[in-house]
Amino acid sequence: MPGNRHKLRSSPTPEGGPVPKRKILVVDDEKYVVELISDILESGGYRVIPAYNAKEALEKVYIESPDLILLDILMPRVDGYEVCREIRKDILLSNIPIIMLTVKGAEKDEIKGLGIGADDYIVKPFRPGVLLARVKMVLKRTLRGLEANPLTRLPGNTAIIEEIEDRIDSNKLFAVLYLDLDNFKAFNDRYSFQIGDKVIQQTARIIVKYVKELGDAEDFVGHIGGDDFIAITVPDRVDTVCSAIIKSFDKEIVKFYSAKDRAKGYIIAKDRQGRINKFPIMTITIGVVTNRKRKFSHKGQVAAVGAELKKYGKSLEGSNYVIDRREK
CB atoms within 10 A of CB 30: 12
CATH of the domain at 223: 3.30.70.270
Q: Is residue 10 part of a domain?
A: no
Instruction: Kindly state whether residues 92 and 189 are assigned to the same domain.
Output: no
Cβ-based neighbours of 145, under 8 Å, separated by 6 or more: none
Q: How far, in Å, CA of 23 to CA of 222, rounded?
A: 24
Look at residues 108, 125, 147 and tell me which one is the last residue of a structural domain.
147
CB atoms within 10 A of CB 278: 13
CA-based radius of gyration for the chain? 24
Q: With contact defined as beta carbons under 8 Å apart, do 34 and 50 qualify?
A: yes
Q: How far, in Å, CA of 268 to CA of 278, rounded?
A: 5
Instruction: Kindly state whether residues 107 and 183 are assigned to the same domain.
Output: no
Q: Is residue 18 part of a domain?
A: no
Instruction: Kindly state whether residues 188 and 314 are assigned to the same domain.
Output: yes
Instruction: Kindly state whether residues 136 and 195 are assigned to the same domain.
Output: no
Q: Is residue 137 part of a domain?
A: yes
Instruction: Kindly state whether residues 118 and 155 are assigned to the same domain.
Output: no
Instruction: Kindly state whether residues 143 and 216 are assigned to the same domain.
Output: no
Q: Looking at the 3D structure of the chain, how many domains does it have?
A: 2
Instruction: Kindly state whether residues 157 and 240 are assigned to the same domain.
Output: yes
Look at residues 147, 164, 180 and tell me which one is the last residue of a structural domain.
147
Q: How far, in Å, CA of 202 to CA of 183, rounded?
A: 16
Which H helix or E strand runs over 230?
A: strand 228-233
Instruction: Kindly state whether residues 67 and 115 are assigned to the same domain.
Output: yes
pLDDT for position 141: 81
Instruction: Kindly state whether residues 211 and 127 are assigned to the same domain.
Output: no
In degrees to the nearest 10, what's the CA dihedral of 20, 26, 32, 36?
-50
Cβ-based neighbours of 138, under 8 Å, separated by 6 or more: 68, 97, 99, 119, 120
Instruction: Kindly state whether residues 105 and 226 are assigned to the same domain.
Output: no
Instruction: Kindly state whether residues 234 and 289 are assigned to the same domain.
Output: yes
CATH of the domain at 42: 3.40.50.2300
Q: Can you give the residue range of the structural domain that contains 209?
A: 151-324
pLDDT for position 9: 45
pTM listed for this prediction: 0.67
Look at residues 123, 147, 171 and tell me which one is the last residue of a structural domain.
147
What is the residue-level pLDDT of the chain in tens, covering all 328 positions?
Answer: 445 565 554 433 334 445 568 899 999 999 999 999 999 999 999 999 999 999 999 999 988 888 899 999 888 888 888 888 888 887 667 778 999 888 765 556 556 656 677 888 888 888 999 999 999 989 888 877 777 788 888 988 888 998 999 999 998 999 999 999 999 999 999 999 999 999 999 999 999 999 999 999 899 999 999 999 999 999 999 999 999 999 999 999 999 999 999 999 999 988 777 888 999 999 999 999 999 989 999 999 999 999 999 999 999 999 999 999 877 6
pLDDT for position 62: 85
Q: Is residue 7 part of a domain?
A: no
Instruction: Kindly state whether residues 141 and 155 are assigned to the same domain.
Output: no
